[in-house]
Amino acid sequence: MDQTGITTETPKSPWGSVAPAAPSCSLAEVMSEQLARQLDEENNSFPALSETGSELLTADEAADTTSDLMLAQMLQMQFDREFDDQLRREEKKFNGDSKVSISFENYRKVHPYEDSDSSEDEVDWQDTRDDPYRAEKPQTTPRKGFTGKGKNITTKHDEVTCGRKNTARMDNFAPEVHVGDGLGMDLKLSNQVFNSLKQHCYSEQRRSARLHEKKEHSTAEQAVDPRTRLLMYKMVNAGVLENINGCISTGKESVVFHADGGSLEEQPVPDEVVLKVFKTTLNEFKNRDRYIKDDYRFKDRFSKLNPRKIIRLWAEKEMHNLARMKKAEIPCPEVVLLKKHILVLSFIGKDQVPAPKLKDAMLGSEDMKDAYYQVLQMMQKLYQECNLVHADLSEYNILWHEGKVWLIDVSQSVEPTHPHGLEFLFRDCRNVATFFQKRGVSEALSVYELFNTVSGLNVPVGAEDEAEFMAEIVALEKRNEDHVQRRGKKTFPVATEDGGPPPLKPDTDD
């Protein structure tokens, strides 16, 4: 026997040989496995589960039951839904045939917005990677206000047309108002009925906002709804993310989290990423509708989608815009993955510390001047090469990292031919010009010069009267809009062939 133990391959324990320890396994793990199996069996033995139930327990999701937390959340969601179902039954029983009914809605566990979602036409990153909207032309609609000839003329005040239009406009109601498929059954709503429905919808919306506000926004992690949290945990479970660390920012329209990247389909994900979660419950998005419903790339789909899906469209829009920017080599976050309303982007910063916004970056005068020229070049590239106007450009959406400016937050960016595209550009220019002038960059162009330099347009600056300049811009937009309506093409080119700015000519070609 070897007393010293030197020649033995594995060092011996001074207390004698120890039997190899059985792989450790917590009670919770055993339970979760059992539960998973049990749920799976139940799922198989009841193929005709209710809509919501089957959605939670589809085959691919059964594999997700390895995480206790996620399992608990899935069960909680299922429990909440069942609670609501029971509540609905009680409500029905209570009200019976009575003409006056009492609503139990306030006691529901699941926000109506989170409920009733289906995953058909789910947007996934694989099929949305390239920009299928580029080549599409805007739709032409008659602007003269009537169609047909002679006796068969139909004006825009026609009762049937108006009725149908009103039905379609119900789609703009708050997310929690179920308007049904009025278009499918060719419902025609009179103006009076439409207006009172709209009024009712507004008051309901305010009531619902009051009710759910407290419940949803208590702490940073709670800033996202349970369904979103589940989606986030699924990303961790699938190994796309190693870990979700914490919240970087909670804005009106989005919540941004820092996370450690894992791998996606064998490809490594950047070490540090952010999850930009577009908020699904806030109605602020409604105020931003004009950035998307007049964007011809998304217009058609916008009108057909429910508000929940529209929020996914914002995430998708940011993804496409970032892809264009990357192509033009504008420093910006890289898109890793899009899952519903969650966008995973590369992190701008280091060791969990995000790069400062330009507003907070402590730059010396040389760096500030340098930053200015970078921003100027970036704006030109964005307009000329990406065919985009940022539409929310300011020192808040530009980060300073490794001696470079990085452009972020482009979900609302539109093409210059958007009906208000040039006005958005002017606003961007004003923010940029004001910021750099205040920070003492003497080279900074005036807002008017900046606008012309970026767009390549020659809007006369004249007496530098803003109202006058704006009027010119609006006239340009109007002319472009008319042109688009008539010809389906733009009147002002993004850049002329020789690279010089196109002259601003009167519209001579009609």
Q: Are 297 and 414 in contact (CB under 8 A)?
A: no
Instruction: Return phi, psi of residue 178, to 5°.
Output: -85, 115
Residue 424 to residue 429: CA distance in whole angstroms: 9
Nearer to ligand ADP, 319 or 473 (CB): 319
**186 φψ region: left (φ > 0), alpha (ψ -120 to 50), beta (else):** left
Residues known to be catalytic: 392
CB neighbour burial string for 82-105, b if at least 16 within 10 angstroms, e if fewer:
eebeeeeeebeeeeeeeeeeeeeb
Q: Which two tokens stand for residue 274?
A: 């952010």
Residue nearest to ligand ADP (CB): 251
Contact with Mg ion (CB under 5 A): which of 272, 409, 415, 477? 409
**What minimum distance in Å lies between the beta carbon of 42 and ligand ADP?**
41
* Choice between 280 and 452, CB closer to Mg ion: 280
- 258's enclosing H/E stretch is strand 254-261
DSSP string, 89-107: HHHHHHHTT-SS----GGG
Structure tokens at 406: 């990085």
Answer yes or no whether residue 397 interacts with Mg ion by CB under 5 A: yes
In terms of Cβ atoms closer than 10 Å to its own Cβ (0-12, 13-18, 19+), residue 7 is exposed
Instruction: Please tell me the distance from the alpha carbon of residue 488 to that of residue 253, in angstroms, as a whole number.
Output: 33
Half-sphere exposure of 249 (CA within 13 A, CB side): 17
Residues that bind ligand ADP (CB under 6 A): 248-249, 251, 253-254, 256, 274, 276, 333, 345, 347-349, 354-355, 357, 397, 408-409
Between 409 and 481, CB nearer to Mg ion: 409
Residues 6+ apart with CB under 8 A from 294: 414, 418, 419, 420
Q: In sequence order, what are the beta bridge partners of 267?
A: 264
Q: How far is the CB of 124 from ligand ADP (least distance, A)?
A: 21
Closer residue to ligand ADP, CB minimum distance, 39 or 399? 399
Using DSSP, state whether 333 is helix, strand or coil: coil
Residue (228 or 452) nearer to ligand ADP, CB: 228
Q: Nearer Cβ to ligand ADP, position 354 or 501?
A: 354
SS3 104: coil
DSSP 243: E
Chain residues binding Mg ion by CB under 5 A are 397, 409
